[in-house]
Every structure is written in structure tokens, then in C-alpha cells.
């Protein structure tokens, strides 16, 4: 894979430069991309190879056991604001480009890798050279080329477009090469190839279960295609054989015309035919929900036991199919999200909660009973979120400080970003500077007058740290680098103390910075020293921002917005580093602007509200409604109907 990218990058500059582009702005960006690849294609290929090796190391390393209580996660201290989320959006777009032509071979490769590692007890969800991993490696390689954000993004997209048609061939070659050491798997693997080749990509349906009246539209009343015949046969009203449309006056339009012209009659659900169709629809939806591979076995069993209670409720509650927010669907969706197949087995406490909840529902399957069950589940989730906060205490403390110094942190981050843009600082340095050190600078600025902030010691430390970890620059003056490191470490340590970082976290950050310095000082044989300033000062045109004006009051979260409607304990699914992750909301600032989530194994992620809204607009964030079990079941019904 590395050789293919290295050989392709050298010739790609010419292809990009010669490709016709009508938009003048894009033509200028493409010109910068071609020039950068022409000059630094070897540097880009080396960065890609190094990132890929790191991905392989993480993939082959068994997951380390984590001690009880708080454990160190440097990524938890990265605040995802609008600029940082833009990187995630770019990576997601690259993943989509890479996935276009390699579906069959990628599925075969993942099956093969899973079989190879089955004895280790490792669940393989994605290949270490799958599209998400490749997208991250390409992005990491481009980060070290001192390019503006638009040029870096277009460079990665250009390389991804070139690489995508070749991935199927590369995956096939990797898989076949592995058979030399795993010949016993060859027959089983080949036996599944035909099914893989015939497995079509699941097309999006475009059906939105959150739209008013959407569930009614699932009642297909076409006489030529009685979708719910099988469900009706198993329904309590099985004595009624027909599944014909309701005999409404003037009805010839069928769905969706019938829905729009006779919504009141459908909403009433009073006569035998409409009741039968409602029961059939509910049964069919529950069949799909229970069969959903995303659900854990315990969730399937519990939801199947709830199904007859819901059918019983539908006979006297005409609102059950009027909205996805009916307590029945809310309860089923939240249970399904809490008991996802990709998560750890449900705790005994939650299993006991399920058993205790089922008893009153069985005794009284009413709307009020389901509403009470939803409220009890919300209370349980809030308590769970409160308990999980103790394991992310360090990240929560820093997020609270960000909230209290919001205006100064934004100014410091903007100034630090300009310094980073002038250098080739590695990703860990950029993360440290923009996440933690921007808070250190803002904390220091609270003691300085606006005119004194140009000579801020913390800002000078940031300049030195950026220079010292930029190997292309620091290697031109190795003596200065060696001499400055002891004092630099002292200054960084003192700065972290001002934001009350724990000793363990300070040690972890310093070890990471030390590893970067060591890498910078070790020049591989044959590598030439890059041209760059010998002085530590980056000599930037660094004007201070205008004196801060009184910050306007933050607008209250819009409850109609999917993000503004989030409550403590709610679950969301969002795409990070090109892969989907399930997160639970643990904390929100008073103005709703800063939010703290926890994912698997209590790893935390901090976001601004604007960043989350930006991700939602790009399709990278799914709330409980938009990614619900009901939505997935409805999509499956639509696919089967067509």
C-alpha cells in the first residue's frame, strides 16, 4: 500500500495540473496542490507510510486492560470546536470516496482478518487498511506539509480519488498473500465469495420516520402488493382474511394520496380493516426491530416480550402510529440504543431494571404505563451519566475552565493557530497546543493587561515548543534544540500546573512531547537537512487581536434543534476519525455551549454546540430519533416493498 501511494504521488502532480477546472478559485487551489505534491511527494508518502504502520501496530496489539477508576486518555482533553470538526468532515468525505469501488473485496478482507484473529478473542470491526484508516493516514501525511486548510483538504481528496479505483485490487492481493500462512481458511473463504459478490450495497431509502404522519405512509394498501399479508396472518385478528384498503368514499389514490386525503379517518383507526392494518404494521415493525443485527441478544428478547403489549395497546390508542415520539417507540428506541450489539453486555443492574419495568407494563399495557417506563429509563440514564462523570473528572475540569475563559481561549487559539500554520508541527503537538496550551495562555492573560499580552511568556513557550517539534526546522540547529529542551520542559510543566492538571496527566503529556523530540533528533541515514531558520523565533507577523469587546449573551439552545434538545444521559451516534461511535452526554455547560460525552470504556469527547450542529448538518451526527431502531425497521420495510 505504501509503495503504491509513493509511486502514484510522484506522478499525480502532473495529472492534477492538467485536469480541466472551470472554477477559478478551485483552479488556484488545485495549482497549489500540484505544486506541493511535485515538491514534497516523498515527504507525503513517508508520512502516509508511518501513519499506516502506527495503525497496524494498534490493530495487532491486544487491548490493554484499563484499571478501575480514572485512566489516562490524552485525546479526552481535545475540545472539538468548529475548526477541529471541519477536519472530521474532510476525513468523512475521504472515507466516502475510498468506499466507492472496494465493497466486495473489503468485506472478504475483513472476514479473513477476523478468522485469523479469532483465537485471540478480538472482534474485528474494520480492517487496518480499510477506508477509515486510510483516510486518517492520508490526512496525517498532509498535516506535515505546511499547507493552508483548503489546499490540504483538496490534496487529500485528489490522492483519495486516485487511490479509490485501485483499492479492490490491493485488498485482493493482501488477502491472497495471507493464505500462505492460513491455508486452512482458504476453502471457507472461497465458499463465501459468491455471496459477497451478490451482496448489493444497501441503498438509502430517504424515508424519514420523524416526519409527521410518516408511520401511516408505511401502510401499503396496494392490492397488487399486500406487504403485510404475512404479518396479518400472525396478528390477533387472524380470523379476518382480507387485507384490502379501507372502504373510504372516493378512494382510488392509494398511498400516499390516501394518507393526505383521508388522514382523519386513518388517525381514528376505528373500523376492522384499519385496526387490522395497524396491527399488521406494528407486527411487521417489531419483526424488523427484533431481527436488527445492531441489537444485542438480550435487547431482542426483551423487545419481543413487549410486542404483544404494544399490539394490545394499539387496539384502543389511535395515537400510536401518529408520531415516532409516542412513549412506545421512545422506550423501544432507548432500550435498543442502550443495549447495542457493539457495546459491552448489559450490567446486572440494567437487566434487573428491564425485568422490573416489564411487570407493570404487562399488568397495564396503557400509554401512561409506557410514559412512566420512559421516565424511569431517563432517570436511570441520568444516574448512569453522573456515575461516569467521576471517570472523566480531568476532562470535565478543563472543559469548565474553557467555559469560564471562553473569550480569551478563543483569542489565544486563533493566535496559536497562526503560529502552527507556519510550521510542520506533528499532530500530537498541534493537539497539545490548541487543546491544553491555549487554556494555559488564556489563564495567563487574565493577569495581564491587553497591551502586555504580546510578550506573554506562555505564548513564547508555545513558539519554542512548535519549533522544537518541527523536525524539518529543528534539525538545522541541533545544538540549540538540545540546549533548550531542559528549560522548555520546566516551562511546559509550570504552565500545565496553572490549570491544575494532575501529575499523572502532566507526566503523560511530557512523555509524548519527549518522544517527539527524540524522533526529531534522530535523522535517518540518507535524509538531508531541510532548509529553515536557525533561530528559535518563528518570525511571524503576529498581530494581537483587537481588545476583547463584552461578549454577547450566548443564545439559549434551540429546543427544536436536534442538538439543542439533548438532555443529560441521552445517547448520540457520531463519526469520529472516519468511524461511527456511540456516545452518551454526561455534562453540559449552563449556557448549553460546551458538552462532554463519554464513549466506550469511559473515553471522553468534548464539543462545542456549534461544532455538533455542523456535524449534524453534514450527516455525521445521529440523535436517538434519527438513528433509532424504529428508523432502521422502517427503512427495511421500504426496501422490501420495492
Asked if residue 607 is part of any domain, the answer here is no
Residue of 122, 325, 301, 107 whose CA lies nearest to 210: 325
- What would the mean pLDDT of 521-526 be, rounded to a whole number? 55
Note if the bond before 256 is cis, omega within 30 degrees.
yes
Do 168 and 305 fall into the same domain? no
Do 54 and 184 fall into the same domain? yes
Q: CB neighbours (10 Å) of residue 608?
A: 20
Backbone angles phi, psi at 259, to 5 degrees: -60, -50
Do 190 and 226 fall into the same domain? no
Provide DSSP, 134-176. Answer: HHHHHHHHHHTT---HHHHHHHHHHHHHHHHHHHHHHHHHHHH
Asked if residue 548 is part of any domain, the answer here is no
Residue after which a domain boundary falls, among 521, 551, 584: 521
**Contact (CB, 8 A) for 365 and 407:** no
Do 332 and 478 fall into the same domain? no
Whole-Å CA distances, 227 to 50, 556, 626? 53, 46, 24
Whole domain around residue 445: which residue ranges? Answer: 405-521
Backbone angles phi, psi at 568, to 5 degrees: -55, 130
Residue of 642, 529, 640, 531 whose CA lies nearest to 287: 640
Provide DSSP, 303-363. Answer: HHHHHHHHHHHHTT-TTTTT-TTSHHHHHHHHHHHHTBTTSPPPPHHHHHHHHHHHHHHHH
**Contact (CB, 8 A) for 1 and 167:** no
Which cell is 486 given? Answer: 531542559
pLDDT at 540: 44
Across-strand partners of 263? Answer: none
Mean model confidence pLDDT for the chain: 76
Do 286 and 186 fall into the same domain? no
- Rounded Cα gap, residues 293 and 305, in angstroms: 18
- Rounded Cα gap, residues 271 and 277, in angstroms: 10
- Rounded Cα gap, residues 46 and 523, in angstroms: 14
Residue after which a domain boundary falls, among 505, 521, 537: 521
Per cent of the chain over pLDDT 90 is 13
Do 432 and 356 fall into the same domain? no
241, pLDDT greater than 90: no
Which cell is 409 given? Answer: 481561549
Asked if residue 98 is part of any domain, the answer here is yes
254, pLDDT greater than 60: no
**Contact (CB, 8 A) for 211 and 189:** no
Q: If pLDDT is split at 50, 70 and 90, which confidence band does 79 have?
A: confident
- Sheet architecture: strand order including 621-622: 79-80, 604-608, 594-598, 579-588, 571-576, 621-622
Do 184 and 319 fall into the same domain? no
Backbone angles phi, psi at 621, to 5 degrees: -135, 130
Which cell is 558 given? Answer: 434551540
- What would the mean pLDDT of 525-529 be, rounded to a whole number? 45
pLDDT at 195: 47
Of the CA atoms within 13 Å of residue 615, those in its CB half-sphere come to 30
* CA dihedral sign of residues 17, 26, 426, 464: positive
239, pLDDT greater than 50: no
**Contact (CB, 8 A) for 584 and 571:** yes
Q: CB neighbours (10 Å) of residue 352?
A: 11
pLDDT at 625: 67
- Assessment of whether the complete model's pTM goes beyond 0.85: no
Of the CA atoms within 13 Å of residue 88, those in its CB half-sphere come to 25
**Contact (CB, 8 A) for 556 and 550:** no
426, pLDDT greater than 90: no
Query: How many domains does the chain divide into?
Result: 3
Residue after which a domain boundary falls, among 172, 198, 224: 198
Do 187 and 249 fall into the same domain? no
Q: If pLDDT is split at 50, 70 and 90, which confidence band does 270 have?
A: very low
Cβ neighbours for 628, distance < 8 A, ≥ 6 positions apart = 209, 324, 329, 333, 336, 337
Residue of 443, 606, 433, 457 whose CA lies nearest to 516: 433
- What would the mean pLDDT of 490-502 be, rounded to a whole number? 88
pLDDT at 514: 85
- Rounded Cα gap, residues 215 and 222, in angstroms: 16
Asked if residue 546 is part of any domain, the answer here is no
Across-strand partners of 607? Answer: 80, 595
Residue of 110, 216, 244, 103 whose CA lies nearest to 165: 103
pLDDT in tens, 184-217: 554 544 544 444 444 444 556 778 888 777 887 7
- Rounded Cα gap, residues 160 and 141, in angstroms: 13
Residue recorded with cell 508555545: 462
Beta strands 594-598; 621-622: pairing state: unpaired
Asked if residue 285 is part of any domain, the answer here is yes
pLDDT at 281: 84
226, pLDDT greater than 90: no
3-state secondary structure of 603: coil
- Rounded Cα gap, residues 138 and 297, in angstroms: 38
Asked if residue 400 is part of any domain, the answer here is no
pLDDT at 258: 42
pLDDT at 458: 92
257, pLDDT greater than 70: no
Asked if residue 117 is part of any domain, the answer here is yes
- R_g of the chain, CA atoms, integer Å: 28
- Rounded Cα gap, residues 469 and 536, in angstroms: 11
Q: If pLDDT is split at 50, 70 and 90, which confidence band does 156 have?
A: very high
Which cell is 119 given? Answer: 483465537
Asked if residue 549 is part of any domain, the answer here is no
Q: If pLDDT is split at 50, 70 and 90, which confidence band does 553 have?
A: very low
Q: If pLDDT is split at 50, 70 and 90, which confidence band does 11 have?
A: confident
- What would the mean pLDDT of 461-476 be, rounded to a whole number? 81
387, pLDDT greater than 60: yes
Do 118 and 6 fall into the same domain? yes
Number of residues in the chain: 642
Q: Which of 33-47, 166-180, 430-444 has the lowest mean pLDDT?
A: 166-180
622 or 541, which is more confident? 622
Do 343 and 446 fall into the same domain? no
Q: CB neighbours (10 Å) of residue 394?
A: 19
Which cell is 91 given? Answer: 476525513
**Contact (CB, 8 A) for 281 and 326:** no
Q: If pLDDT is split at 50, 70 and 90, which confidence band does 76 have?
A: low
pLDDT in tens, 323-352: 888 999 999 988 888 887 666 677 788 888
- Residue 315 CA to chain centroid, in angstroms? 40
Do 322 and 419 fall into the same domain? no
- Residue 318 CA to chain centroid, in angstroms? 37
pLDDT in tens, 598-633: 886 657 888 999 999 999 888 888 887 666 888 888
Whole-Å CA distances, 315 to 275, 279, 320, 323? 7, 8, 10, 16
Residue of 405, 336, 350 whose CA lies nearest to 551: 405
> For the chain, first and last CA: distance in Å?
40
Name the DSSP class of 433.
Answer: I
H or E stretch covering 114: helix 103-116
- What would the mean pLDDT of 135-146 be, rounded to a whole number? 85
3-state secondary structure of 226: coil
372, pLDDT greater than 90: yes
**Contact (CB, 8 A) for 4 and 170:** yes
Do 109 and 134 fall into the same domain? yes
Amino acid at each position: 500500500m505504501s509503495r503504491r501511494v509513493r509511486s502514484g504521488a510522484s506522478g499525480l502532480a502532473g495529472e492534477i495540473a492538467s485536469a480541466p477546472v472551470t472554477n477559478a478559485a478551485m483552479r488556484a487551489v488545485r495549482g497549489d496542490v500540484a505544486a506541493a505534491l511535485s515538491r514534497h511527494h516523498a515527504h507525503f508518502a513517508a508520512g502516509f507510510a508511518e501513519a499506516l504502520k502506527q495503525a497496524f501496530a494498534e490493530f495487532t496489539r491486544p487491548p490493554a486492560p484499563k484499571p478501575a477508576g480514572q485512566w489516562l486518555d490524552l485525546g479526552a482533553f481535545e475540545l472539538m470546536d468548529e475548526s477541529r470538526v471541519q477536519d472530521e468532515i474532510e476525513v468523512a468525505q475521504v472515507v466516502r470516496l475510498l468506499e466507492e469501488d472496494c465493497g466486495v473485496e473489503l468485506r472478504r478482507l475483513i472476514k479473513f482478518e477476523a478468522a485469523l484473529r479469532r483465537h485471540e478473542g478480538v472482534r474485528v470491526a474494520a480492517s487496518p487498511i480499510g477506508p477509515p484508516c486510510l483516510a486518517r493516514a492520508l490526512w496525517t501525511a498532509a498535516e506535515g506539509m505546511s499547507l493552508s486548510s483548503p489546499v490540504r483538504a483538496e490534496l487529500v481528496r485528489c490522492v483519495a480519488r486516485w487511490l479509490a479505483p485501485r483499492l479492490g485490487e490491493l485488498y485482493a492481493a493482501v488477502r491472497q498473500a495471507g493464505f500462505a500462512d492460513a491455508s486452512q481458511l482458504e476453502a471457507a473463504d472461497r465458499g463465501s465469495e459468491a455471496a459477497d459478490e451478490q451482496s448489493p450495497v444497501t441503498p438509502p431509502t430517504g424515508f424519514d420516520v420523524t416526519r409527521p404522519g410518516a408511520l401511516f405512509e408505511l401502510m401499503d394498501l396496494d392490492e397488487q402488493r399486500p406487504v403485510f399479508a404475512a404479518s396479518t396472518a400472525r396478528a390477533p385478528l387472524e380470523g379476518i382474511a382480507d387485507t384490502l384498503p379501507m372502504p373510504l368514499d372516493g378512494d382510488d389514490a392509494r398511498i400516499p394520496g390516501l394518507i393526505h386525503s383521508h388522514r382523519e379517518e386513518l388517525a381514528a383507526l376505528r373500523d376492522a380493516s384499519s385496526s387490522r392494518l395497524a396491527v399488521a404494521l406494528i407486527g411487521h415493525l417489531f419483526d424488523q426491530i427484533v431481527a436488527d443485527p445492531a441489537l444485542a441478544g438480550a435487547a431482542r428478547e426483551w423487545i419481543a416480550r413487549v410486542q404483544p403489549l404494544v399490539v394490545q395497546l394499539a387496539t384502543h390508542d389511535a395515537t400510536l402510529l401518529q408520531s415516532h415520539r409516542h412513549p412506545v417507540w421512545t422506550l423501544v428506541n432507548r432500550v435498543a440504543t442502550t443495549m447495542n450489539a457493539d457495546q459491552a453486555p448489559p450490567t446486572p443492574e440494567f437487566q434487573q431494571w428491564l425485568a422490573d419495568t416489564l411487570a407493570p407494563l404487562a399488568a397495564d399495557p396503557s400509554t401512561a404505563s409506557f410514559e412512566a417506563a420512559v421516565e424511569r429509563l431517563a432517570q436511570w440514564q441520568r444516574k448512569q451519566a453522573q456515575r461516569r462523570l467521576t471517570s472523566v473528572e480531568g476532562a470535565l475540569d478543563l472543559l469548565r475552565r474553557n467555559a469560564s475563559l471562553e473569550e480569551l481561549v478563543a483569542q489565544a487559539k486563533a493566535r496559536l493557530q497562526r503560529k502552527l500554520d507556519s510550521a510542520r508541527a506533528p499532530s500530537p503537538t498541534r493537539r497539545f497546543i490548541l487543546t491544553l496550551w491555549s487554556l494555559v495562555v488564556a489563564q495567563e492573560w487574565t493577569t495581564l493587561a491587553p497591551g502586555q499580552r504580546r510578550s506573554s511568556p506562555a505564548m513564547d513557550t508555545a513558539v519554542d515548543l512548535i519549533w522544537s517539534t518541527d523536525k524539518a526546522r529543528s534539525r538545522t540547529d541541533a545544538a540549540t534544540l538540545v540546549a533548550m529542551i531542559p528549560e522548555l520542559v520546566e516551562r511546559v510543566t509550570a504552565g500545565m500546573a496553572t490549570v491544575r492538571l494532575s501529575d499523572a496527566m502532566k507526566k503523560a503529556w511530557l512523555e509524548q512531547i519527549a518522544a517527539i523530540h527524540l524522533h526529531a533528533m534522530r535523522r535517518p541515514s540518507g535524509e538531508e537537512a531541510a532548509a529553515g531558520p536557525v533561530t528559535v523565533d518563528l518570525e511571524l507577523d503576529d498581530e494581537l487581536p483587537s481588545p476583547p469587546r463584552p461578549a454577547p449573551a450566548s443564545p439559549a439552545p434551540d429546543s427544536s434543534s436536534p442538538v439543542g434538545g439533548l438532555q443529560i444521559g441521552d445517547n448520540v451516534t457520531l463519526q469520529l476519525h472516519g468511524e461511527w461511535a456511540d456516545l452518551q452526554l454526561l455534562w453540559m455547560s449552563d449556557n448549553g455551549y460546551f458538552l462532554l460525552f463519554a464513549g466506550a470504556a469511559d473515553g471522553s469527547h468534548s464539543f462545542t454546540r456549534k461544532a455538533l450542529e455542523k456535524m449534524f448538518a453534514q450527516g455525521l451526527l445521529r440523535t436517538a430519533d434519527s438513528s433509532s431502531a424504529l428508523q432502521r425497521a422502517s427503512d427495511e420495510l421500504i426496501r422490501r416493498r420495492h
